[in-house]
Amino acid sequence: MSADVETVLRAPQAYAMARKAIQAMEAHKVWPTPVNFELWVHYLCDKESPLAAEIDQLIESGEAFTDAVGEQLAAQYLPKAKLDGEIMQAGDALAQELDSVSRAIESARETSEAYGQQLATAHKSLEAEDATAIKAMVETLTTATQRVQRENRTLETQLADTTAEVSRLREHLELVRRDAMTDALTNLANRKAFDEALERTCAQAEADGQVMTLAVIDIDHFKSFNDTWGHQTGDQVIRYVASVIGRAGHPPRLSARYGGEEFAIIFPGEGAATALATLEEIREEVSSRVLKRRSTNEDLGAITISAGLAERRPGEAVSGLVERADAALYASKRGGRNRTSTADPVAAAA
């Protein structure tokens, strides 16, 4: 989802946009499936996009907006996060399969080697006996086993090469996974990584009866700043704020770029009071530095951020926690920005 679309869907006008999308689909006889809904939200939020041009062309031609058409548009224009997830799952399956094959080959080699040793021992024990026929049979089997052992040694060499290749593939898969879970601009965790981490942390907090806190952070007046100075300078500001958040959001905390100019920090095992102190440190550090535009060395002025946090309540769903943190963030914005608000008055007092 693009930053602009995500910003719209996380703003107060989100419900109005959702209703507008449903009305537009009904007007054009489009079934409101999840895929179609996402397509039409993108269409209405960004009428200048390639996706919008495709949908406009479909409307003008009178062509039916079937499920097949929707799936084709989704595959071409919607974000690749789902595909990244499928790639990572396929990579995990591949690694497991290669592990299984490697173990099977190694087991076969060890079994064959043990069998050869047993036959050789049997051969020696029969040398003292006058059992020519038996000895001849064992010698034949021993020769055959020695041949198998030679072949196994060749197989072992090939196995070593294969194991090295598996290690290389694992490293590559880890890089792919890391890339798929990292925001390219800021090197913080991306939205997908954040969503998965929040689900895990909430589940762990519920199981252990431990506290956890979620914070969301937004750069103040970023849109007007971006319009004035341009996207490259806007990216410079985002990277600067992300660097401050990243230092404060060290493990086991997780700091992420939530979308556009918005960030989030998960505080496992930490209450609202600790999170509030950390957010205030971040806010003060961000505003203490006057940035300069790299291309012209012009002063950009001080950058400020607004933040909101919510401490998870026992039994609370992930969505409820996110909504309360968001509400606290909007309270900071309504209160004049450049401040931190909490979802719970008791936590605010702390």
What tens digit of pLDDT does each residue of 232-271 get? 888 889 999 999 999 998 889 999 999 889 999 999 999 9
E strands, 105-253, are 212-219
What tens digit of pLDDT does each residue of 179-236 get? 778 898 999 999 999 999 999 999 999 999 999 999 999 999 998 888 888 888 888 8
Closest by alpha carbon to 271, among 193, 326, 205, 335?
205
CA distances from 348 to 215, 244, 340, 342 (A): 13, 23, 9, 6
301 near 277, Cβ under 8 Å? no
Q: What does the pLDDT read at residue 110? A: 67
Element (H, E) at 259: strand 254-259
What tens digit of pLDDT does each residue of 36-54 get? 888 888 888 888 888 888 8
171 an active-site residue?
no
What whole-number distance in Å separates Cα of residue 344 and Cα of residue 341?
9
What tens digit of pLDDT does each residue of 269-299 get? 999 999 999 999 999 999 998 887 777 778 8
End-to-end CA, the chain: 37
What whole-number distance in Å separates Cα of residue 206 and Cα of residue 196?
16
Catalytic entry in 38, 63, 174, 261? 261
Q: What does the pLDDT read at residue 133? A: 63
Please list, in sequence order, all residues whose beta carbon lies within 8 angstroms of the beta carbon of residue 234, skipping any fewer than 6 positions away. Answer: 222, 225, 226, 261
What whole-number distance in Å separates Cα of residue 233 and Cα of residue 244?
17
What tens digit of pLDDT does each residue of 317-339 get? 999 999 999 999 999 999 999 99
Q: What does the pLDDT read at residue 308? A: 97
Q: What does the pLDDT read at residue 28? A: 87
Residue 348 banded pLDDT, cuts 50, 70, 90: very low
